[in-house]
Amino acid sequence: MTEQNYEQMRRAMVASQLRTTAVNDPRVVAAMGKVARERFVPAAQASLAYLDKTLPIANGRGMASPMVVGRLLTEARVKPTDNALVIGAGSGYSAAVLAELAANVIALEQDKALVGNAPLPANVSRASGPLAKGWAKGAPFDLILFDGAVEQIPPAIIEQLADGGRIATPIVENGVTRLAIGRKAGFGFGLLSFADAEAPVLPGFAVEKGFSF
């Protein structure tokens, strides 16, 4: 597969997966048309990088489809001045795209086996630690992107948002995964879903099941 082939696949992704699914922020479209997604997947799967599906990367984890990343970033209304955190950054693709849109990005991952060798932009810093704790050292964040689905958002992570800050995440509700945007205002936080979509699940965010007879 040549670099020209990948560029053609990237253009096809923009045309068929992004523009047709309400990914209509020109900055998001341009960023996803620029970042080489094939560099962030295992080498054996490089030819599959632009498929409209979740791709497995390692240890049961996956990389969200281009549509999921595009929809979340579009609805997040990323500003050039934003200080952002990506939770469950994996090999770094979403962080690399977000770096084209925001001022600073921290890519948080707890599984070192997922971190690939693809170079990241200069305004991205990698961090290692439990995903469910977020990254208080870099707070407050204007935007927190969950790069995978969660059943709940821990209060400790909401506390790391700046006033008016946003969270973009796939959220599992009654067994259905929905894309959602949350916003913090004062001491309050509200989450609103806007589309159903498949997304890989992040570990550490499951709701504890109550005891039943």
Strands 104-109 and 188-196: unpaired
Boundaries of every domain in the chain: 3-196
pLDDT digits (tens, 9 = 90+) for 151-160: 999 999 999 9
Q: Dump pLDDT digits (tens) for 87-114.
A: 999 999 999 999 999 999 999 999 998 9
Q: Given this model, what pLDDT does residue 211 score?
A: 46
Q: State the pLDDT at residue 210.
A: 59
Task: Name the nearest CA neighbour of 72 among 182, 156, 151.
Answer: 182
Nearest to 91 by CA among 73, 67, 69, 70: 69
Res 115: pLDDT: 87
The helix (run of H) or strand (run of E) holding residue 28 is helix 26-34
Q: Which CATH number fits domain 3-196: 3.40.50.1820, 1.20.120.1690, 3.40.50.720, 3.40.50.150?
A: 3.40.50.150
177 backbone dihedrals φ, ψ, rounded to 5°: -90, 125
Distance CA 117, CA 137 (A): 25
Q: How many residues does the chain have?
A: 213
Give me the residues of the chain with pLDDT under 70, please. 1, 210-213
